[in-house]
A and B are shown apart, each in its own frame.
Chain A
Amino acid sequence: MRLGSLSISSQLFIVVILAVVPVLLSFIVYFSMVYSAERQRGLQQAERITDALARAHGNQFEYARSLLRVLAEHATAVSPCEPDYRRLVDESDYLFNAGVIDADGTVDCAALIADSDSDLSEASFFRRAVTAGTTVIGDAMLPFADSGRESPVIHVARAIPGKQGAVVFLALDPVESILPPALAALPESYILTLVDEDGRVLFRNVESERWVGHRVDGAQVLREQVQDGFISLVMEGLDGVERRHVAYEVSLDERGSVYAVAAVPITDDQVQAARYLKLSLILLFAALLTTAVLTYWVSRRFVRGNVSPLLKQIERIRYGMSLKDGESRPEMSREFRDLQAHLRQADEERRTTLERLRLHVEESPVAVVEWDPDFRVRGWSARAEDMFGWAAEEVLGYHPSDWRFVYEPDWPGLSGYLETITSNPRTRPQYEVRVWTRDGQLLSCAWYTSVIRDSQGQPESFLSFIVDVSARADAEEALLRLNESLEWRVAERTRELELANRELESFSYSVSHDLRAPLRAIDGFAQALEEDFEAQLDGAAGNYLQRIRAAARRMGALIDDLLRLARVSQADLRVEIISLSDLASEICLELQENNPEHEVAWFVEPGLAVSADRALARMALENLIENAWKFTRGKEQPRVELKLVKRDDGGSCFELWDNGAGFDQRYVDRIFEPFQRLHSGQEFEGTGIGLATVRRVMERHQGWIQAESDEGGGARFLFCFGFGVNQCSQPGVEDER
């Protein structure tokens, strides 16, 4: 039932059948019931009649036999016998004649004397009676006696004992002797017949003269059919009336039978019922036929007419044959043509896509394994064969637990992974499992598994991309070990560094304490010598003492500067936003106060701020500005300026400028190194540590400092604190910060 129109025609068929068939069926049932009842009634009536006929005949025969037995015993004693037989016949309603027949077939004596020339030696009843020795019932024939009777009589005979070949016989009047009143009253359409074994009619209630004594055809058949004592058949008589014939065998003795046949006309009701039944059946058949034809026509009209061409077109499309025009409407043909083209293209695309995918899978550098919903191998790529050593046909249809594949300790993990991806693969797209190769090598593999589900949401297929990550796993392990050792080493270094820091701290502490004390003693006692023994010392001695004391003081300054430099490296940074302008101004004011003889014109740009440690920033600024102060000594109009400047690259930084002595640009790299001095101590005092300290401060703030100078044309220090406010950039250094 592919198409709706077919379904409609069958529905039509069903409707017609449903409407017509029950009516017809009820007719059929009704008439068949009527028919059956009538038939049953006719049959019963026919049986009753036959039974009555047979009984009547039996009675008559019994009577005849009893009488014959008596007559046969006394036949010899009676002579002349005619009067006795005549009396016997006269007294009986049944008897037409009675007498004795000699062995030669002549009538010896009888109630009615036969013609002299009548020879009964050939008569059936005579011969049978002679040979049988019992009563026989025999020929129904016209009386042999000259009585003027035109209707046949029935002859019953019995051999006479002791009188060889002679028989005593009775001629029975069939009509009066047999027919009981009930049967006699039957209408003429009921035909009652008695037939002997030879087919000779012994009795017929209608047209007796015409039938009795004549043989009828079919006696042999009748005899065979009535073997079980009963026959019932319907046939049409010579008069055209249909009758039910019922026949009984009336057993007389072992030597012969008589058949009682009643032919009862079929009743009009039965005939009518049969007719209607036949009509109903015909109608039913006609209805079925009509409906079938109608359905066929409808299907031909709607299905073959409209759908078949479509089906043919579809079939052509399916098998890729060229489409025929003219069968359908042109626009339909066009549609079909488009559809076919589209399908062809789609099919081609699908094929190439599939082929591409297949090649990708085969060529994939990772092993590709497809699993069925029970996680048995369904696909095993060439790379999987290479990687694991198992050929596809060896593992297809097997669960990974079925062969030595998964490294045993990884089983629980893999089982969990399989369960997880079955319920939701996205939660755990990748899992690492170690697997055995065929040659017993253990590989660390990363499994990336996807799942396809059917419309019910049940997993239909799993696809695993399996990557050999043994190298990576080894590397990871090595890295892990390295990390551990690295951590340990870092901890060790940190500890060492802390130790070194502490040592350095205590070192600088003791330096500050223990180096100072002797210096103080040198200076102090030199001064005491100078003051207390002034009179005893000449000019040169005084000069020497002065130089001793100057050296001691210089060394003190050196110690102080070195300690400061060390402190810069060690100190914890407390970064806050501080005003660089205020700090610089303070320092300048102090310097001015402490050096009233050296008047410097200074300028600090207001509003400069940095994120920095206040103490360190102050230390750096002090060093820079003191430097500027120092190197402008001896200038005509000494000038120091601190301001924010734009750089070429768009960034900005601070600039401390002075118009002092400057330095040789060639040695610019050296001025930030400790103890490196570009000027002699005689020219400008100093320890050579100050700028190193400044650079250290900047570095600790992740900033920088650089110097520019022309000899004799002043110095320019550009610097920047790396944190936060007023952060500025240095060309070529950004990347490192």
Chain B
Amino acid sequence: MNGEMAGRAEVADGPIMLVEDNQDDVDLTVRALRKCGISNEIWVARDGVEALEMLHLEGESASSPPSLPVVVLLDLQMPRVDGFEVLRKLRASERYRFLPVVVLTSSAEDRDKAEAYSLGANSYVQKAIDSEAFLEAVGQLGLYWLGVNQAKSP
């Protein structure tokens, strides 16, 4: 499976942004992506504030935009600024309006799911406890959104 994925020429090569406060989840997610053969650069933000600074939406370097990530994997429950707020800010900015955002969360609440979609999330994925299922889900997601972006920006 790994080889197949890595060899796909149509996969975009931009960075993947991971917003996640739990180090375990960061490690497992990164491992899952790598296991799926996704070798793209991965930006990790430890909460909403870091994420927004990293995208130059807030903080000292707010005026100089970085290069666009291919996809954002966004946790919802985070200290300081949570995932909903980050999503709201992204969708409110000209630059990130159409940036693919995948909500990756432990919450199975319908409420959270509904709110995430209404704020403009592209996908909503519950983090499964079963690590195989998790691995598969993250891998699929990454590939899918990388593929979509590739197709969009030739």
Contact = CB atoms under 8 A, between A and B. Distances in A.
B40 interface: no
A524 B24 contact: yes
Contact of A520 (B25, B77, B109): B25
B24 A516 contact: no
Nearest to B32: A524
B4 interface: no
Contacts of A560: 108
B139 to A, nearest CB: 13
Interface string B134-150: 11000000000000000
B136 to A, nearest CB: 12
Contacts of A166: none
B77 A556 contact: no
Contact of A523 (B77, B109, B130): B130
Interface in B98-112: 105-109
B31 A516 contact: no
Interface string A518-557: 1111011111100000000000000000000100110110
A707 interface: no
Contacts of A555: 129
B109 A519 contact: no
Residue among B77, B106, B132 with the highest chain A CB neighbour number at 10 A? B106
Contacts of B109: 509, 512
Contacts of A513: 77, 105-107
B23 to A, nearest CB: 9
A271 interface: no
A665 B106 CA distance: 40
Given A516-B127, A517-B24, A517-B25, A527 B132 contact: yes
Given A513-B77, A524-B134, A519 B129 contact: yes
Given A509-B109, A520-B28, A526 B129 contact: no
Contacts of A219: none
A317 to B, nearest CB: 97
A526 B134 CA distance: 13
B61 interface: no
A555 B130 CA distance: 11
Contacts of A521: 22, 24-25, 28
A527 B136 CA distance: 13
A517 B130 CA distance: 11
Nearest to B110: A615
Interface residues of B, number: 19
B28 A556 contact: no
A183 interface: no
A563 interface: yes
Interface in A554-568: 555-556, 560, 563
Nearest to A528: B31
A472 B100 CA distance: 74
A196 B134 CA distance: 186
Given A526-B131, A556-B129, A556-B130, A520 B106 contact: yes
Given A526-B131, A556-B130, A520 B24 contact: yes
Interface in A501-519: 509, 512-513, 516-519
Interface in B1-36: 22, 24-25, 28, 31
B131 A509 contact: no
Given A524-B24, A528-B31, A512 B108 contact: yes
A556 B24 CA distance: 17
Contacts of A520: 24-25, 28, 106, 127-129, 131, 134
A517 B76 CA distance: 13
Which of B24, B108, B129, B135: most chain A CB closer than 10 A? B129
Interface of B: 22, 24-25, 28, 31, 77, 105-109, 127-132, 134-135
12 contacts: A512-B106, A513-B105, A517-B22, A520-B24, A520-B128, A520-B131, A524-B24, A526-B131, A527-B135, A528-B28, A556-B129, A563-B108
A-B interface, 9 closest residue pairs, ranked by CB to CB distance from nearest: A556-B129, A521-B24, A524-B28, A527-B131, A524-B131, A516-B106, A523-B131, A513-B106, A519-B129
Given A512-B106, A516-B106, 11 more contacts: A509-B107, A509-B109, A512-B108, A512-B109, A516-B129, A519-B129, A520-B128, A520-B129, A521-B25, A527-B131, A528-B28
Interface of A: 509, 512-513, 516-521, 523-528, 549, 552-553, 555-556, 560, 563
